[in-house]
Structure 1
Amino acid sequence: MRRLLFVLSAALVLAAGWLATPANAGGWAMTYLDPLPDRFQPGTTYTVGFWVLQHGTHPFEGDLGKTGLRLTAADGEVMTFDGTARPEAGHYVTSIAVPKGTWKVEGIQGLFKEHDVGTLTVPGGLKINPPPQDLRGDGKDYWGAIRPPGFPAGGTADRVAAAPAPASALVPAPVSVPAPAGKAADEAAGFPPYALLLAGLGGAAVTLAGVRLARRRPMDETPADGKTDTITVSG
């Protein structure tokens, strides 16, 4: 009987310990990448910073364990790049060099399950998977000037974290530039002053020619009084 009770107690302790681990107690994490190069080239070394955040909003308190980035090709080839902790909570960095191809990128998150970051095309860029929409913080600010992308300073309770877009997807919005002071409105609209001047001179020339033609009497026109002028040339 005592042996049976001992076995049951040990089983309960093991089960409690298993349920208490982050991966089995409802805990989960996300990997956020720092801003990336516009384009990745085969065999080129790149330094990539990334953040591992529990529930996508805050760093894990304690020893998280091994972190890094795992890249898997369509043919099954796997490359793992270990992360090195930075001074900021939850911040890590690694260096990668990737051959040509299409690679699935996962974040290795220690005690937590791997996070599916996105798809990297080499040569090309990284297409990041969208995060869950409901990522609300707890009102605390865990970082200083160096912080995860999408996390504003202040630590407000309604903070919503968002994964960063690849640099290649960031396109500046068009900016309207007003015409410099002293310029005519038509110049700002794309008509240079000399074009208007030439148009004005051409119109004036046509008008003057019309007036001269109107004043000029035709050679075969007979005066209204029936008289003709006689020109005598002495010699």
Structure 2
Amino acid sequence: MRRLLFVLSATLVLAAGWLAAPANAGGWAMTYLDPLPDRFQSGTTYTVGFWVLQHGTHPFEGDLGKTGLRLTAADGKVMTFDGTARPEAGHYVTSIAVPEGTWKVEGIQGLFKEHDVGTLTVPGALKVNPPPKDLRGDGKDYWGAIRPPGFPAGGSADRVVAAPASAPASALAPAPVSAPGGKAADEAAGFPPYALLLAGLGGAAVTLAGVRLARRRPLDETPADDKADTITVSG
């Protein structure tokens, strides 16, 4: 019993650490789209470029995992178009062919939670969710001549321009976010902000129960039947 309680306590502690890791690492990203056609028609194939940027400002360092675009119709039909990495950091491309209808568009972002890009009407255009007014970069320039829409060249400015005045509305697709470590960051990482508190309280409760049980049993007491907790499967 003592061993079981110890294992449960250790499991809860490890779970709490695992939940905290995405938030500490900045566990959220945003999907930007390259300029798109003004109008989409059914039965036509379109090549769509997109960028997956951690914190909305820089490419993820390491193996991001699977990327792409997911389209979901009002009746629940889902179409997924896998992304292929381009030479530029954080840049991907895919080809889509979409039937008539209204589709919710999401960016598949590998290790990060899916990003809600906007709504595509076919025949019609993509209505992109409003971008934030601006995002703070780190002053580094991660790209050459080919770069995400609205990002200035040179990397000298610490402010990343989210949407230049001359860019079409379809050029960008980020959604509003809060600063890293805030509520939006925790939710984007895939778990509610109270998850760590519940995990910590659960571990404390199990540990306390184990201590009380150990105090009730005398040190020289031995179980009446050591085989009672043993299950043998023959054959």
Q: TM-score range by the shorter chain?
A: 0.5 to 0.7
Kindly indicate whether the alpha-carbon contact (under 8 Å) linking 1:37 and 1:167 is maintained by their aligned counterparts in 2: no
Structure 2 stretches of 5 or more lacking a match?
none
Q: Which 4+ runs in 1 deviate beyond 6 A?
A: 167-176, 179-235
What is the deviation of 1:116?
0.7
Deviation at 1:206, TM superposition (A): 113
Any conservation in 1 of the 2:118–2:173 contact (CA below 8 Å)?
no
Q: Looking at both structures, which has the greater relative contact order when contacts are Cα pairs under 8 Å and sequence separation is at least 6?
A: 2
Question: How far did 1:74 drift?
Answer: 1.4
Output the TM-score relative to the length of structure 1. Answer: 0.64
SS at match of 1:95: strand
- 1:113 is paired with a residue whose SS is strand
Structure 1, unaligned stretches of length 5 or more? none
User: Are the aligned partners of 2:134 and 2:162 in contact in 1 as well (CA < 8 Å)?
Assistant: no
CA distance change for structure 1 residues 109 and 221 in 2, over 3 Å: closer, same or farther?
Answer: closer
1:80-229 paired onto structure 2 within 5 Å: 80-162=80-162, 166=168
How many residue pairs end up in the alignment? 233
Distance 1:232 1:203, change over 3 A: closer
Partner SS, residue 142 of structure 1 = coil
CA change 1:233–1:219 in 2 (3 A) is farther
Choose 1 or 2 for highest CA Rg. 1
Which moves more between the two structures, 151-160 or 100-109?
151-160
Deviation at residue 199 of structure 1 after TM alignment: 92
What SS does the aligned partner of 1:30 have? strand
CA contact (8 A) 2:64 2:110 kept: yes
1:119 to partner: Cα distance: 0.9
Counterpart Cα distance in 1 of 2:12 and 2:232: 143
Deviation at 1:45, TM superposition (A): 0.4
TM-score normalized with structure 2 length: 0.64
1:184-235 Cα shifts (integer Å, max 9, x gaps): 9999999999999999999999999999999999999999999999999999
Residue 73 of structure 1, CA deviation:
1.1
Structure 1 residue 67: Cα displacement? 0.6
Q: Deviations over 1:154-200 (max 9, x none)?
A: 11343224258547899999999xx9999999999999999999999
CA shift for structure 1 position 18: 2.0
Bigger shift: residues 132-141 or 80-89: 132-141
Residues 9 and 100 (structure 1), Cα distance of their counterparts in 2 relative to 1, 3 Å cut: same
Q: Which moved more, 1:224-233 or 1:27-36?
A: 224-233
CA distance 1:2–1:76, shift in 2 (3 Å): same
**Residues 66-108 of structure 1, C-alpha deviations (whole Å, 9 max, x = no match):** 1100111112111110101111110000000000111111100
What is the alpha-carbon root mean square deviation over aligned residues? 32.8
Q: Please give the alpha-carbon distance, in whole angstroms, between the structure 2 residues aligned to 1:12 and 1:199.
A: 6
Per-residue deviation, 1:37: 1.1
- Mean Cα displacement is larger for which, 225-234 or 99-108? 225-234
Q: For structure 1, which segment, 93-102 or 221-230, has the greater mean C-alpha deviation from structure 2 after superposition?
A: 221-230
Q: Are the equivalent residues in 2 in contact too, given 1:32–1:163 (CA < 8 A)?
A: no
Give, in angstroms, the shift of residue 117 of structure 1: 0.6
Are the structure 2 counterparts of residues 202 and 3 from structure 1 closer, same or farther at C-alpha, using a change threshold of 3 Å? closer
CA distance in 2, matches of 1:17, 1:27: 14
d(CA) in 2 for partners of 1:80 and 1:205?
Answer: 44
Once the two structures are TM-superposed, the CA of residue 131 in structure 1 deviates from its matched residue by: 2.0
